[in-house]
Structure formats: C-alpha cells, structure tokens
Structure 1
Amino acid sequence: MKYSYLLLLSLCLSIFSCKTDPKEQTANTLETNTKDLIIKTSTQEKKLSISPISHATMVLSYGEDDIYVDPTGGAEAFKGFSSPEIVLITDIHGDHLDIETLKALDLSHATVIAPKAVVDKFPKELKLGKSVTLNNGDSINLNGHLFEAIPMYNLREEALKYHAKGRGNGYVVTINNERIYISGDTEDIAEMRALENIDKAFVCMNLPYTMTVESAVSAVLEFKPKQVYPYHYRGTDGFSDVDNFKTLVNQGDESIEVVQLDWYK
C-alpha cells in the first residue's frame, strides 16, 4: 500500500512538471544568461573620452585615469573631473605651462611628464606627486599606457625664435592599443610626417607660432591618421580656418575623419 502511494505521488509530479511551458523555461534561461553577459561586458569595457578645455588644454579619460594635457585655466576649468593620475606638458609657453593652474590642482597623486626645459621651471613650492623628465625620443610606461616624446619645432626662418628643436615635446600616447598623437607647437616637421599607425591626431595650426592650415593638411595627408582633430588654432590675427582644413583633408583622402571640437567656448 505504501509502495502504491509513492508511485501515485511520483506520477502526479511528473504530469505537473510536463505542464510547464518549455518556451518559458528557455526564456528564463536566456534572460538570466543575457543579464550576466551585460553585467560582465559593462564592467570590462572601457572607452577613451576626450574633453577639450581650451586651445591646447584637454583631458583624456580612460577608466579611472584622467590625463591632463597642458592644463591651463585654473582649477575651475577642471570641475567635474577627478584629480589627474598623469599630466602631460609640452612646452614652456604660458598656454602650455601654467604654474598657477598647476598650483591650484591636486597633483599629490599625479605623475607629471614634461621635457627638461619645463621641469626646470617648476618652483620649489609646487607640490607634485612625482615628475618625470622626457626629452625627444624618450618613452615611459605608466598605468599601462605608453608615452613617447616626439620632437616639436619651427621650420620657417621667421618662426625659429618661437620653438627651438629639442626644447619641447609632442607626444604619442598609446591607450588600450590606440595611438594618440598630440602635436604641441610645431610645424610640419619630418618627425610628424614619419608617424605610423596613428588612430587620433591633435594637430596645431596658428600663425605666427606654428604652421598654416595648408602645411597641416600636407603633413596629415602624409602620415594618414584615422582621425584628426584640429586644435591650438587661435593666432594673433584670430582663428585659423578649420573648416577649410577639413575640406582640404577630405579632398586629399576621404578615409581620414576630421573631428572638430569646441576649443574656444
């Protein structure tokens, strides 16, 4: 009798389970797996974001790293950003090296990368976490990113007084296998033209200090970055024609994307 009762109970449970919609079971399984996949992807995925601040000043953000490039404008200009992990400075001029802004920022945990001419101008009271001197041709790995110092200088006879070869740095920064070129103050020098595998290029163009729009176009068409960002384009007579820069680049090579950001808000 006890055996018959157990057999009947087992049969009822089997019938009840058969009534569960197999589609519903599959949907529940897929939903769980999909949610797990989304959570896993979102925690692993990091994207590079670029925030123009002004003229030559920008913030490159990747994951928890904020990289300040030529910080100017005081602490107010960087509201909404975390304190920098890394600071890049290209040259000694005030639109690149702003001591008052450096004093106003929290650099206690930052590594400041700069050429010797810049490091020599740091006052003793400037509180830095650490400074690293990179000169043309030097490189360093920090936080999993590669920083390479690239020459920047003038070519035109009338402009040689502005940027002597060997004093300042452009940079190629490699973040998550993406190579980002920051020209600093330069003309269309051979070292720029020889660059390879550049994903994003920030290229200056302002007279009398750097180069003409046409010179910038010529260099870009030679080293062929995937994307080019005109920046540092305010000169003594106003703004360079970045719309014409875009037109000329795309006439020469439609595959190069010209990205125009608002550097002069």
Structure 2
Amino acid sequence: MYTQIKALLICTFITTFSFGQMSESVDEITITPVEHASLILETKYKRIFVDPVGHEEIFNTHGTPDIVLLTDIHGDHMNAETLNALHLSKSIIIAPKAVAEALPENLQSKIQIVNNDEKVEVSGVKIEAIPMYNLREEAKSFHTKGRGNGYVLKLANKKIYISGDTEDIPEMRNLHNIDIAFVCMNLPYTMTIDSAADAVLDFKPGIVYPYHFRGKNGKSDVKKFSSMVTEENEDIDVRILNWYPEK
C-alpha cells in the first residue's frame, strides 16, 4: 500500500489510446509504445520518435517530431522506408556514425551524428549517447561496442534512459538518478531477464518499462522480470505496456 501511494505522489498515471495502442502519461510526458523498439515520447512542447520502424500511420497521426532518435543499424531500429514516410520537415535525426552512413542521401541533411559518450542539446532537449553492446562471447558480433547508441534524455525535468540493444553493461549499471528507463531483454540478441533485473536493481530507476523483449524463440517473461525487480526493491515501479499489438 505504501508503494502504491508513493507512486501516486511521484507521478500522474493516465492512459489513453492511439490507433489501438495504449499510451500513458508520467507527469508531463506521454509515452506511446508502437512496437518492439519503437516508441513516441511527447510533452506539450516536444515530440520525440525513437527507432521508428513501420506503423507510419501511428507516427504520422502524432505529427512532426522535433527529434528522431536512432540506436542501431538493424532493421528493427532503423528503416529508411519508414523515415521517408514520416513528416520530418522540421525534424533532427540523432544517430551514431554507423547508422548515419547506412541511411540514404536524401536524409543526410537531417542527421546530427552523436557517438558514444557525446552530449548534445537539440531543440532544448539534452541528449547523452550511452554505449550499447553485448558482453557474452557468443553474442558479441550482434552489437559491437561503439556502433550503436543507447540514450539518456532530459525531458520535462525527467531523466529518461533508452537502452537500445545491450546487455547489462557497466555503463548501464553506473547510471544515476534515472526517472524512467526502457530496458531491453531478448535472447540471443540482448540479455536475459535475470541480467536485466540485476542491472535495474543496480541503477534503480524510478520507473522501468521492459521493451524490445521479442527474441528468437518468442517473448521474454516480462512478468517474471517485474517480480524479480519488485521483490528486491519495491520502490522501483515496473510497468508493462503492449509492445506487441495484435495485427
């Protein structure tokens, strides 16, 4: 009961619907899961698309983004066809060098390259690129260190962490004062729910959303992940959204 009351004091929890997708608001930030790694973050003044892939109708219903964040070169994070279908006339695309080089020439003028450990401010939003990579020997070729970015954003006075494709790396564990975290967990490409839970218990975000949890053999057990986290630290609010809507 204490935890539930504390959560209500910390943030306002509101759900709305967008093209069949359930959005929720944390104080001034509205979060819309689109699918897998794709999501939308919105405030009254800013709109950010993260790894837009497919579902152009959902993205375009939300309008023109101020910022598009791209994390990696893989097709579930970067899709030139989707980007070309979006309303990007006033948008800046933030991407690491490897991603920028993989995009077509017509998008190059919109790209600002930001690599691991670099910090920028774009449209009033502070952005830090966090490394994302695999640790297990058998998985190191999936995501090599330095190629892709996770991100930490400062939006509406909240620090938001987007993991991208990563394992429970030191750079994640060493994060501080994260209000909202989106943490991946799928095998063989990223990490197990055990590793994800252990990392989350280390850096202690206020709210954590498991996302990017469909792997080679189906979806990870995010309810078990939630139990693993909250049994150890009931102050971490694990929220499960619909990242895989029925088609």
Q: Work out whether the TM-score is over 0.5.
A: yes
Q: Is the 8 A contact 1:136 1:151 kept in 2?
A: yes
Aligned positions of 1:24-173 closer than 5 A: 47-126=28-107, 130-173=110-153
Task: State the alpha-carbon separation in 2 of the partners of residues 241 and 154 from structure 1.
Answer: 20
Residue 227 (structure 1) shift = 0.6
Structure 2 unaligned residues grouped into runs of 5+: 1-26
Aligned positions of 1:204-215 closer than 5 A: 204-215=184-195
More helix by share: 1
Q: Is the 8 A contact 2:166 2:191 kept in 1?
A: yes
Q: TM-score normalised to the size of structure 2?
A: 0.86
Q: Secondary structure at the match of 2:88?
A: coil
The one-letter code matched in structure 1 to 2:52 is P
Q: Is the 8 A contact 2:132 2:150 kept in 1?
A: yes
Q: Is the 8 A contact 2:63 2:87 kept in 1?
A: no
What percent of counterpart residues are identical?
55
Per-residue deviation, residues 137-185 of structure 1 (Å, max 9, x unmatched): 1011122210000000000010001000000000000012210000000
Q: Is the 8 A contact 2:70 2:94 kept in 1?
A: yes
Per-residue deviation, residues 68-107 of structure 1 (Å, max 9, x unmatched): 0000114223242011110000000000001110011121
Q: Is the 8 A contact 2:28 2:156 kept in 1?
A: no
Per-residue deviation, residues 3-56 of structure 1 (Å, max 9, x unmatched): xxxxxxxxxxxxxxxxxxxxxxxxxxxxxxxxxxxxxxxxxxx81100000000
Q: Is the 8 A contact 1:137 1:150 kept in 2?
A: yes
Q: TM-score normalised to the size of structure 1?
A: 0.81
Q: Which has the larger radius of gyration?
A: 1
Task: State the alpha-carbon separation in 1 of the partners of residues 157 and 65 from structure 2.
Answer: 21
Structure 1 unaligned residues grouped into runs of 5+: 1-45
Q: Secondary structure at the match of 2:131?
A: strand
Task: State the alpha-carbon separation in 1 of the partners of residues 123 and 28 from structure 2.
Answer: 15
Q: Secondary structure at the match of 1:246?
A: helix
The one-letter code matched in structure 2 to 1:63 is K
Of 197, 218, 222, the match for 1:242: 222
Q: 1:74 to 1:246 in 2, by over 3 A?
A: closer
Q: Is the 8 A contact 1:72 1:97 kept in 2?
A: yes
Aligned positions of 1:226-265 closer than 5 A: 226-265=206-245
Structure 1 stretches of 4+ with a deviation exceeding 3 A read: none
Task: State the alpha-carbon separation in 1 of the partners of residues 109 and 208 from structure 2.
Answer: 32
Partner of 1:187: 167
Q: Secondary structure at the match of 2:191?
A: coil
More strand by share: 2
Task: State the alpha-carbon separation in 2 of the partners of residues 129 and 164 from structure 1.
Answer: 26
